[in-house]
Chains A and B, each alone.
Chain A
Amino acid sequence: MIFEVFRQERKGQAFVHGGSFHAPNREFADAYAREFYARRQESVALWVVPREEITTIEEFPDEFDLKYRRVDGYSIKARLKEARAAAENAIRLRDAGSAGGA
């Protein structure tokens, strides 16, 4: 069996993935997790999870590009670029006009 280990470095912190190892059962996994991830006091707590218990999800369709769902708001990069180009163009036209009138 393969086990995945998540470790917490300090109380209150999020658990982060530490790595994985083979063990014949949960008891062995418990012992090996201690040796691999906490022997040097580098963790205050461990989550030891059989890999087969973990559900992997990796398909996230977004066919209609629903930008308004994003927490960071609308992306205005493209429109900003357009606006800048238009402004620069207007300035150029104005300057060209005033130079011709002198």
Chain B
Amino acid sequence: MKTRTELLLELADDELILGWRNSEWTGIAPFLEEDVAFSSIAQNEIGHARALYELVARELGTDADALAFDRRPEEYRSAPLVELRRLEWARTIARHWLYETADAVRLEALKASSDPEVAGLAAKMDREEIYHRMHAEMWLERLLASGEGRERLQEGMLELWPYALGMLDGELRPPFEAIVRERLPFELPAVEPVPRGRHQAELEELLGEMTTVRRSAPAGAQW
């Protein structure tokens, strides 16, 4: 059984790392309007991460920045799905859709939590995530509408499916799997999930880049 701190850190790390990955499209998204929209989604995810880190930091007697930037790579609890660097649009959409779908299942469970702080924050996050899901869904529909789009999306989904399955565990995995299988017009194989904690090589590189400013600033610098 995971503790509250572990659960919140998983969620926070997922949001932070995915927010970072999505922000890699800033300036190079397929077209200007999407550039703004996708960057905004990235900012939202990082905002969610901050709220979650603050909640955890109070318990651990630290602060949100220390949790976000000062841990060693192996201490992060992010799912491998969000760590992968995939600068190809169809794969990005595949991950975006899989992540948002899994996240919805996870948030639904957290909203029912007996812990009012957790339930409250989950509800607050969900009010923004609704728009992320709409965004992911309209892109899914758009890619499925053309031959090439569908082909590339399918490739991405097949590649990412084991990672997506690894994002949730226990009782949350079956409902997630059911939603995905029902929505996608192609078959997904039965695969072994890539579990949380088995970090991708890309994570270390990402953390190096993400913490550059933090590491170069003198201790105690105020922002």
A residues bordering B, Cβ < 8 Å? 21-24, 27-28, 31-32, 34-36, 39
Contact = CB atoms under 8 A, between A and B. Distances in A.
Given A21-B33, A22-B31, A35 B138 contact: no
Interface of B is mostly: helix
Interface residues of B, number: 12
A31 B37 contact: yes
B134 interface: yes
8 contacts: A22-B31, A22-B33, A24-B142, A28-B33, A28-B138, A31-B131, A31-B138, A35-B40
Contact of B33 (A27, A32, A39): A32
A9 to B, nearest CB: 20
A12 B37 CA distance: 28
Nearest to A27: B138
Given A22-B31, A31-B131, A36 B36 contact: yes
B31 A35 contact: no
A34 B143 CA distance: 22
Interface string B127-164: 00001001100100010000000000000000000000
A34 B33 contact: no
A27 B36 CA distance: 16
A35 B37 contact: yes
Interface in B96-153: 131, 134-135, 138, 142
Interface of B: 31-34, 36-37, 40, 131, 134-135, 138, 142
B164 to A, nearest CB: 23
B65 to A, nearest CB: 24
B73 to A, nearest CB: 33
B135 A31 contact: yes
B134 A35 contact: no
B201 to A, nearest CB: 33
A-B pairs with the 9 shortest C-beta distances?
A35-B37, A32-B33, A27-B138, A35-B40, A21-B33, A35-B36, A31-B135, A32-B37, A39-B40
Nearest to A29: B33
A28 B37 CA distance: 10
Contacts of B142: 24, 28
A35 B134 CA distance: 13
Contacts of A24: 142
Contacts of A34: 131
A35 B128 CA distance: 12
Contacts of A27: 134, 138
A65 B32 CA distance: 48
Contact of A31 (B31, B32, B134): B134
Q: Which of A24, A28, A35, A36 has the most CB of B within 10 A?
A: A35
Nearest to A39: B40
Contacts of A22: 31-33
B203 to A, nearest CB: 29
Nearest to A24: B142
Contacts of B37: 31-32, 35
